[in-house]
Structure formats: C-alpha cells, structure tokens
Amino acid sequence: MFDAVLIEKSDHGSHATLTKVEEERLPPGDVTVRVAYSTLNYKDALAITGKGPVVRSFPMVPGIDFAGTVEQSSDPAYTVGDKVVLNGWGVGEARWGGLAGKARVKGDWLVPLQSPFTLRQAMAIGTAGYTAMLCVMALERHGVTPDGGEVLVTGAAGGVGSVAVALLAKLGYRVAAMTGRPEEAGYLSALGAGEVIDRAEYTQPGKPLARERWAGAVDVAGGQVLANVCAAMKYRGTVAACGLAAGMALPATVAPFILRGVTLAGIDSVMCPRAERLEAWRRLASDLDCGKLDALTKDVALNEVIPAADFLMAGRIRGRIIIPVNPDAN
C-alpha cells in the first residue's frame, strides 16, 4: 500500500482525494519506480480541481512528471536502483502519474537522471523547466541570438516562465518578464530579468502590427496576449508558444507572419522525441544556474496537494511546486 492522490468520477463530476492504493492496482508497464519527488503543474491543477478536461480515464492518479528510483524492471535499459525522470507521455492524464508513492510505466518514457542533478533538483526543474528549455532551443534553432535584441517571457512568475527567465539570462539574453503580479518584480529581477512588464498592456485587442520590439519570445499564455506578442515581434523574430493560460483562441492576423517573416514555433513537451528530451536535459545541466532553483521552488506535502491546486488555479503560486513523496529515495 502507498499514498496517492486519486481522482474519481461520479454523477456529480470528478473528485480528488488522498487515499491508500495497493500496488496491484498500478497499470501495466515494464518499469516500477519508487517516486521520490513529483510536482504540481497547471495541468495537474486542472485535473485535480476538475476545471479542465485533462483526465481521459478514471480513476486517475495525477502528476505529469516524477523522479525516483527503479524498484522493478523488465526493460534492459534500466536496473534496480537506477535514478530516473519522467515528463509527459500522457502520464497523469491517460496513465497513472507521479502524485503517488509508486508509478509503473513504459521504460521508453523514462530518461536517466542527468548528472549533476539530484532527484529533487530534477523536479525543481520538472516538466515546466524542461519545457522552458525546449522553448529556448527552438529560439536558437530559428536564429534568435543574444545580440539580436530583447526576448520576452510571458507568465514569467510561473513555472515555465521562471525557468525560462533564468535560462535566457544565463545565456546572455536581455530578458523582459511579463507578469500580472507586479509584486513579483523583485523575484523576477533576481532570476535575471532586465525589465518587468505589466501583462495588462497585452490583454486588450491591439493592432495587426505593433512597433517592432522583441527578437524572440517564450509564451505560456496564448489568447490575446500571444496575438499581441506576435504583432510586436521584430523582423524574422520567433515566438515559442507552449501554453494557453490566457485562452486557447488566437485572435491574430497573418500580418506578422507574411510582412515580417515572424515564426510561431509550437512547443510540445508531452510527446517530444527521446533524443530531444535527452538534449534538453543535457542543456539544463550546463545552462541553468542551479543556485537559483531554491529561489523558484516551494515544497508542498502530498497531503496538501489538493488545496494547493486551488491556489495554483487562482494564480497565487509562483515558480515551481515540488511534492516530496518519498524523499528518502533520493
């Protein structure tokens, strides 16, 4: 038996509880992992609160990522005692996820813990940080360089945004951090932001083309914010879009794309190919200032995850939320 957050569905909707689960209930898979740490992401909060159609089968253990130690394996790539990390692959949505004492998954979905990270540090980064790295890699592929101009990060006080700001600053970019929480200006400056912008400037409908301002952007918002960001991109600038916190619609025109050659690069962290995952984690090990991880993380016990999901949905949590499930397994 082990503790797990379990989401079940009734005629009245879905409901999350902390309960005991027998190991025999774990789904099929060739690797069983004792989870040391998981995290609380926006998608997890949607699932736990029932405010988004994230869960595709019930009952479901949420938690779209985890880090832990292999307990059993029939996959030749992993042996008992190996330290591993998982991000995405529908875990926490279609397959039981990381907000539980154990997880059983396909070995192909795991990646080895990247040196010099500990399991806790891997989850301080988590899916949000791994996604931020994929965004930075996309900007680089499309020719956005530190000497090309400012890079904007929307939702900068959140998980993806916080890591994106820290990564870009470490790589030498001048970073503008957009947030709807002006009280977080000091936090964002400490991560490396050279400028903090009020999100309200980008939430109302704007012109099809605005003044050229940004060489690149990492966007977690979508909606009107993304439309306005695209309109303000420099010639041949690139926006790496990875979220929809401000809405799924894109009320934009084609003007930035056909008149300025702007690229809108979509970032998917869930089904990202293994080679790119490994490269993202390698880059995180070399390009992220681990000294900043403590400043952008907060621990929340497994028995406090459900109320914490409400706080996250209300925009009252900054940075990354780590869930120590079995920290002694680190």
pLDDT in tens, 252-279: 999 999 999 999 999 999 999 999 999 9
> How many other CB atoms are there within 10 angstroms of residue 175's CB atom?
25
Is 80 exceeded by the pLDDT of residue 117? Answer: yes
Instruction: For 198-241, write each residue's pLDDT tens digit.
Output: 999 999 999 999 999 999 999 999 999 999 999 999 999 999 99
Confidence of residue 122 (pLDDT cuts 50, 70, 90): very high
Q: Average model confidence (pLDDT) for the chain?
A: 94
* C-alpha separations of 143 from 135, 136, 191 in Å: 13, 11, 24
Residue linked to tokens 């400028």: 195
> How many other CB atoms are there within 10 angstroms of residue 108's CB atom?
12
Question: Domain 127-266: which CATH class?
Answer: alpha beta
Contact 228, 152 (CB under 8 A): no
- The residue extents of the domains of the chain are 2-113+300-329, 127-266
| Predicted pLDDT of residue 261 | 98
Confidence of residue 330 (pLDDT cuts 50, 70, 90): low
Confidence of residue 105 (pLDDT cuts 50, 70, 90): very high
Contact 8, 15 (CB under 8 A): yes
Q: 198 Cβ partners below 8 Å, 6+ apart?
A: 178, 179, 180, 182
CATH architecture label of 2-113+300-329 = Alpha-Beta Complex (3.90)
Is 90 exceeded by the pLDDT of residue 51? Answer: no
Alpha helix (H) ranges present in the chain? 42-49, 119-141, 159-170, 185-191, 223-231, 255-259, 274-287, 305-313
Average pLDDT over residues 318-324: 87
Instruction: For 59-74, write each residue's pLDDT tens digit.
Output: 999 999 999 999 999 9
Bridge partners (DSSP) of residue 16 are 7
* Residue 123: strand, helix, or coil: helix
